[in-house]
């Protein structure tokens, strides 16, 4: 084909991730042919057998676009994030974990020590009388074994390297990924660096089909299974916490369409520095009582408030982690 533009070089990497983001890329189905026609995948550990040394051998800015998904949880995640930043023209934080810290970021409510103690000593299925724990370096007769160092803090990608664009979601909607990808391929004018792409500026309520009124008064907080959902009334008006008001739309309200409240994976709009704090303030105004004791009782009904309001956003939020007294 004459005058064909050189193919884009694309890398996809997973840090502390579940694999869902990589699957969302695979979910392009037959559109994969368009993607492959336009791009060479130069690095994608989940699907292709490239090694780190292949990346290290590339010249700087060799890769056009890196989609980095997953949070930064250990020294390996950090090393590759920095390596890919160096080798890439455009660094995209792909998915909630790279964007804000995501589900792994909830570990910032605890410490490395508490996590290791639980996982390697206390869980019901653990038998570990010698209390063996992973260590970064371990000598065996054959030589020294090395493991990445597990950090105390989980970080979002932009807390480790400069990020050009954020494509939010847990995982991002495949359609939105394709839109953004094709925009890059066709050379459309890109938004200013630092922008969130593939999501709306307005929050989810704007595209939510459920009926909502100013009548958001909550006497009792309920879990989704505790209500007789009519499929039409705003979840908040039924006492179920829905992160929709504080979360960017663009996902197509898929959770809502599945009759589940929004959990906040698309993150806050640009005007809101901390979606958890924002949503807690909003929820506080909805509590239908002026009696202190009753308010306490109502608030106590919220199961796992920290995990609810900061489900995807803790490391990227203003307070980043729970603080602990110095020993």
**Applying CB under 8 A, which residues contact another protein?**
201-206, 212-217, 236, 244-246, 249, 268-273, 275, 278-279, 281-282, 284-286, 318
Q: Which CB atom, from 169 or from 249, has the smaller least distance to another protein? A: 249
Least separation in angstroms between residue 295's CB and another protein is 15
Cβ-count burial of 196 within 10 angstroms (0-12 exposed, 13-18 middle, 19+ buried)?
buried
Least separation in angstroms between residue 275's CB and another protein is 8
Least separation in angstroms between residue 234's CB and another protein is 8
Q: Which CB atom, from 185 or from 236, has the smaller least distance to another protein? A: 236
Least separation in angstroms between residue 269's CB and another protein is 5
Distance CA 17, CA 170 (A): 10
- Three-state SS string over 162-211 comes to CCCEEECCCCCCHHHHHHHHHHHHCCCCCCCCCEECCCCCCEHHHCCCCE
Residue 74 pairs in a beta bridge with: 150
Sign of CA dihedral 169, 171, 175, 180: positive
Least separation in angstroms between residue 203's CB and another protein is 4
Distance CA 167, CA 189 (A): 17
Distance CA 266, CA 172 (A): 8
Q: Which CB atom, from 70 or from 250, has the smaller least distance to another protein? A: 250
Q: Which CB atom, from 104 or from 245, has the smaller least distance to another protein? A: 245
Q: Which CB atom, from 20 or from 169, has the smaller least distance to another protein? A: 169
The continuous run of DSSP H or E covering 294 comes out as helix 292-300
Least separation in angstroms between residue 207's CB and another protein is 9
Q: Which CB atom, from 69 or from 313, has the smaller least distance to another protein? A: 313
Sign of CA dihedral 116, 117, 122, 127: positive
Least separation in angstroms between residue 96's CB and another protein is 18
Residue 63 contacts residue 92 (beta carbons within 8 Å): no
Chain position carrying tokens 């979606």: 275
Q: Which CB atom, from 24 or from 317, has the smaller least distance to another protein? A: 317
Residue 211 pairs in a beta bridge with: 233
């Amino acid at each position: 084909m004459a005058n064909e533009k050189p193919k884009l070089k694309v890398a996809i990497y997973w840090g502390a991730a579940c694999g869902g983001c990589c699957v969302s890329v695979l979910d392009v189905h037959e559109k994969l042919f368009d993607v492959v026609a336009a791009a060479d995948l130069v690095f994608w550990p989940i699907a292709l057998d490239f090694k780190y040394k292949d990346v290290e051998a590339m010249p700087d800015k060799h890769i056009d676009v890196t989609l980095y998904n997953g949070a930064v949880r250990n020294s390996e995640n950090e090393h590759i994030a920095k390596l890919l930043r160096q080798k890439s023209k455009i660094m995209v934080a792909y998915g909630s974990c790279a964007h804000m810290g995501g589900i792994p970021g909830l570990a910032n409510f605890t410490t490395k020590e508490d996590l290791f103690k639980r996982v390697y000593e206390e869980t019901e299925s653990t038998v570990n009388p010698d209390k063996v724990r992973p260590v970064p370096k371990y000598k065996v007769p054959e030589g020294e074994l090395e493991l990445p160092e597990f950090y105390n803090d989980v970080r979002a990608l932009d807390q480790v390297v400069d990020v050009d664009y954020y494509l939010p979601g847990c995982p991002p909607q495949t359609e939105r990924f394709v839109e953004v990808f094709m925009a890059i391929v066709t050379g459309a004018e890109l938004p200013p660096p630092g922008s969130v792409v593939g999501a709306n500026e307005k929050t989810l309520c704007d595209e939510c089909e459920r009926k909502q009124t100013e009548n958001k008064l909550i006497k009792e907080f309920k879990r989704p299974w505790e209500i007789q959902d009519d499929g039409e009334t705003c979840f908040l008006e039924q006492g179920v916490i829905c992160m929709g008001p504080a979360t960017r739309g663009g996902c197509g309200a898929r959770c809502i369409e599945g009759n589940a409240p929004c959990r906040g994976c698309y993150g806050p709009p640009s005007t809101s520095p901390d979606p958890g704090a924002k949503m807690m303030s909003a929820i506080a105004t909805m509590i239908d009582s002026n009696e202190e004791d009753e308010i306490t009782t109502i608030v106590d009904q919220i199961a796992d408030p920290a995990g609810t309001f900061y489900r995807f956003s803790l490391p990227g939020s203003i307070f980043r982690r729970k603080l602990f007294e110095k020993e």
